A and B are shown apart, each in its own frame.
Chain A
Amino acid sequence: MYVYDEIDQRLVDERVSQYRDQTHRYLAGEIAESEFLPLRLQNGLYVQRLAPMLRIAIPYGLLNSAQLRKLAEISRHYDKGYAHISTRQNMQLNWPELAEVPDILAELATVQMHAIQTSGNCIRNTTTDQFAGVATDELEDPRPWCEIIRQWSTLHPEFAFLPRKFKIAVCGSETDRAAIHAHDIGLELVPHPDSGEIGFKVLVGGGLGRTPVIGKVVCEWLEKKHLLTYLEAILRVYNQLGRRDNKYKARIKILVKAMGVEAFSERLQQEWAAIKDGPNTLTEHEISRAASFFTRPAYREFEESAAGSELQATLDTEQKFANWYERNTLPHQVPGYRIVNLSLKGTGYAPGDISDRQMEAVAELADRYSFGEIRTTHQQNLVLADVETGELLELWKKLDALGLATPNIGYLTDMICCPGGDYCSLANAKSIPVAEAIQERFDNLDYMYDLGPLDINISGCMNACGHHHIGHIGILGVDKKGEEFYQVSLGGDQGKEASIGKILGPSFKQELMPEVVENILSTYLALRTEDENFLDTYRRVGLDPFKENAYAKAD
């Protein structure tokens, strides 16, 4: 992974000093509340319903064990001993003291971490595939590009007061695991149709929130060296023309829609022409420097057959292990290794939450089994990306003891869920209790596996942090005259065939939600043909059968 040099370190240290001074002046009454607001936001600090919330950047979801230990220590010392993985692969602390935040940031800086631009109307943490560098369907590792974008966007002087927040995601594989269609800018590494040279397909104006939109292609193939000038040109058009009169219409998706993608592209070309081939054009030296941090670790060489047959024997006898192996581990680029998902979606705690002890234990396991690296996912889980097949059983036993081996990755109970009304001051409704109720209702593994892969995404408000629009089943908390209700949508999808879910009908009361979900699933089970998963069936039969059943029963 990327390692700071003296300059990277100096920049985060100077950022801590800057923010320490700002906090000091704010507490001394020298900075007005409204002026302090964007300063603290761009250092990750929200003021939430119960306490401030600090969002710590985990650039493109990559951590080393020393960083995870530091996060454990921080959550114990400055918080209540647990943290939350967000849908942008970041980590959130729910109870820090405003006055102590500069100290927390200073602690983070000691392990090459920060909270820069994790909130506010600026360029946020760039996200990518949690299986980057190890996925079997990968064309090119997207992480060097994420790091190049991280450096370009960090403390960018021109784009710190944008109309609204701005999110970039990069995908380098066949399956899009980074939801690039739902980002302000989505980048996909693609071969040139003629030469085969890899460049970027560029999408602009995707996003969730109040007005969900799938991104539009503005460039089918961009030569790699032009990446930063092109991004800069997009941002420049947006900074000048994006709406600032209404925060709900301020995202770039609204601008692209209003201008039309042709007019937007034309303006973009003009801006780009002025800076193309200028100093921000990437050099071969920089591209290979970035790539040099993401080389393969020292994998051992295995004879696949030997490891394979031993594993098969264990799988045949250990049913619990086999369940976990099948759902929570994935094939790896290198023979003899598997990708291991650690589920943070067990029953009994909020989806995506992790305790200080668990963090320390995971750091230990990463050192022992996976070259000391950990990844966070936008589905709010963790990944150990490089585990030897022969050590899976041992690792599974340890994970099981830690409560991190719930065998549900990609299945019903692996829900994406925002913090919701329990924590967030923006929320219209709670989301965690809904997730818990659904998890309790569907605790039967056989039933869950029979349903097949299923994304249930829950957001407590329109801002859609829980990505409800792109869940196969999306659940959105709404406020009706002070009462919490839940709107259900079906058919959303985050992949390359990305689609926005359609609303089923009138919203439901909280206590009805497990029943509503069960009803939807029964409809699917009754209508599916062999080999169809939920989304296939939905696409074939449409919304109506689900609607009829849902409301027939609910009445």
Chain B
Amino acid sequence: MPKLIKDGAVVEDSWQGSLLDLDEFNAVAANGTATGVVLQPDQPPSALEADLAGIEVIAINFPVFTDGRGFSYARELRQRGYRGEIRAVGGFIRDQLGYLQRCGFDAFEFADDSSLEECLPSLREFSESYQADMIQAEPLFRRR
């Protein structure tokens, strides 16, 4: 079974559903059978034609790690109250884990899952942050 980083730990990917492309997902969303979708960088969350609450996993693909649109998409999903899994997939890199997590990603699926343990410290490089984010609801200036 492939592994991923979920909620800060290396786990086996036990989720049984499948990640559909946006078009496929929207086609079957109406009858409530779709539980997972993968968004591409040009597909913002507003393109999802379904109640977010019914979706178990929303994957956001990073074809290249330098395309930062997915950071805003995850943040928007959480801001709209989505509580399911947001999974980073594709070419994102270990050194982005901290920021991705703060934007609302809680699962990370690397193409190569052989050394995930080594990546974990990148989730915990900073003990504080100035901004409000999906981990810390209040910006630092409200806590100072």
The interface of chain A, by Cβ under 8 A from chain B, is 5, 7, 10-11, 14-15, 17-18, 21-22, 31, 35, 38-39, 121, 148, 151-152, 154-162, 228, 236, 239-240, 244, 274-275, 278-280, 282-283, 285-286, 289
For B73, the chain A residues whose CB sits under 8 A away are 240
Question: Would you call A286 and B128 a contact (CB within 8 A)?
Answer: no
**B1 on the interface (CB 8 Å rule)?**
no
Tell me the smallest distance from the CB of A22 to a CB of chain B, in Å: 6
Binds A, one of B5-13, B17-25, B48-56, B135-143: B135-143
How many Å lie between the Cα of A156 and that of B68 in the bound state? 12
**Which residue on B lies nearest to A232, using beta carbons?**
B131
Chain B CB within 10 Å — which of A161, A275, A286 has the most? A161
Chain B nearest CB from A230 CB (Å) reads 15
How many of chain B's residues touch chain A, expressed as a range?
A: 35 or more
Taking a contact as CB atoms under 8 Å apart, the answer to whether A286 and B141 are in contact is: yes
A117–B46 alpha-carbon span in the complex (Å): 31
Interface of A is mostly: helix
Q: Most B CB atoms within 10 A — which of A121, A155, A236?
A: A155
Known contacts A157-B98, A158-B72, A160-B68; A289/B126 CB under 8 A: no
B140 touches A7 (CB 8 A): yes
A159 to B139, CA, bound (A): 16
Contacts of B138 in A (CB 8 A): 279
Nearest CB of chain A from residue B117's CB, rounded to whole Å: 14
Smallest CB-CB A-B distances: 6 pairs = A161-B68, A157-B102, A157-B99, A286-B141, A151-B130, A279-B132
Decide: A11 near B128, CB < 8 A? Known: A35-B93, A279-B138, A282-B141.
yes
CB-CB under 8 A for A154 and B137, given A35-B65, A236-B72: no
Is B31 at the interface (CB under 8 A from chain A)?
Answer: no
**B99 — nearest CB in chain A belongs to which residue?**
A157
Asked whether, in the complex, the Cβ of B129 is within 8 Å of the Cβ of A240, the reply is no
Shortest C-beta distance, B66 to chain A (Å), equals: 6
Given A240-B44, A279-B142, also A10-B72 (CB < 8 A)? no
CA distance A278 to B95 in the complex (A): 29
Question: A274 — which chain B residues lie within 8 A by C-beta?
Answer: 79
B98 near A239: Cβ-Cβ < 8 Å: no
Q: Which of B66, B79, B96, B127 has the most CB of A within 10 A?
A: B66
- Complex CA gap A242/B144 in Å reads 35
* With A14-B125, A39-B95, A280-B131 as contacts: A159 and B141 at CB distance below 8 Å: no
Question: Taking the complex as formed, is B67 at the interface, i.e. its CB lies under 8 A from any CB of chain A?
Answer: yes
A-chain residues with CB within 8 Å of residue B144 when the two chains form the complex:
5, 7, 286, 289
Q: Is the CB of B131 within 8 A of A157?
A: yes
Chain B residue with the shortest CB-CB distance to A22: B95
Query: Which residues of chain B come closer than 8 Å to A121, judged between CB atoms?
Result: 66, 68
A228 contacts which chain B residues (CB < 8 A)?
139
Say whether A38 contacts B66, CB under 8 Å.
yes
Assess the B131–A156 pair: CB atoms within 8 A: yes
Q: Which residue, B93, B95, B121, has most C-beta atoms of chain A within 10 A?
A: B95
Q: How far is the CB of A488 from chain B (nearest CB, A)?
A: 36
Q: Is there a chain A Cβ closer than 8 Å to B83's Cβ? A: no
Nearest-CB residue, chain A, relative to B134: A157
Residues of the B chain whose Cβ atoms lie less than 8 Å from the Cβ of A283: 141-142
Instruction: Note all chain A residues with C-beta closer than 8 A to B79.
Output: 274-275
Q: Which residues of B contact A157 (CB under 8 A)?
A: 71, 98-100, 102-103, 129, 131, 133
Q: Of residues 101 to 133 in B, which have CB atoms within 8 Å of A's CB atoms?
A: 102-103, 121, 125-133
A92 to B35, CA, bound (A): 52
Tell me which residues across on chain B come within 8 A of A152, comparing CB atoms.
130-131, 139
Q: How far is the CB of A58 from chain B (nearest CB, A)?
A: 19
Q: Does B3 contact A (CB under 8 A)?
A: no
When distances are taken between beta carbons in the complex, the residues of chain B under 8 Å from A10 are 127-128
Please state if B130 and A162 are interface contacts (CB–CB under 8 Å). no
How far apart are the CA atoms of A285 and B103 in the complex, in Å?
Answer: 26
B75 interfacial by beta-carbon distance below 8 Å: yes
Is the beta-carbon distance between B127 and A155 smaller than 8 angstroms? no
Docked Cα-Cα span, A363 to B71, in Å, equals 43
Give, as a whole number of angstroms, the nearest-CB distance from A552 to chain B: 50
